[in-house]
Amino acid sequence: MTTLLNNPLRPALLAAARSPKLQATVTRMRATRALVDRFVAGESEPAAVTAVDALLDSGRFVSVDYLGEDTTDRDRARATVESYLSLIERFSSRRSNANALEVSLKLSALGQGIDRTLALENARTICTAAAAAGVWVTVDAEDHTTTDSTLSIVRELRVDFPDLGTVLQAYLRRTEADCAELSGPRSRIRLCKGAYNEPSSVAFQGAREVSDSYLRCLKILMDGRGYPMVASHDPEMIEAAETFASDAGRSSEDFEFQMLYGIRDQEQRRLVDADRHVRVYVPYGEQWYGYFMRRLAERPANLMFFARSLISRK
- Orientation angle between helical segments 175-182 and 207-223, nearest 10 degrees: 10
Contact, 148 vs 162, CB < 8 A?
Answer: no
Answer whether 290's CB lies under 8 Å from 50's CB: no
Q: How far apart are CA 246 and CA 190, in angstroms?
A: 19
Rounded CA separation 161/175 (Å): 23
Q: Could you tell me which residues are beta bridge partners of residue 203?
A: 172
Is-contact 109 69, C-beta < 8 A? yes
Specify whether 70 is catalytic. no
Catalytic residue among 10, 60, 65, 140: 140
Catalytic residue among 10, 60, 158, 190: 190
Instruction: Say if CB 136 and CB 102 are below 8 A apart.
Output: yes
140 is a catalytic site residue: yes
Contact (Cβ atoms closer than 8 angstroms) between residue 7 and residue 299: yes
Tell me 5's DSSP state.
G
Residues 6+ apart with CB under 8 A from 219: 244
Residue 180 burial by Cβ neighbours in a 10 Å radius (0-12, 13-18, 19+): middle
CB–CB of 241/249 below 8 Å?
no
Q: Which residues are catalytic?
A: 140, 190
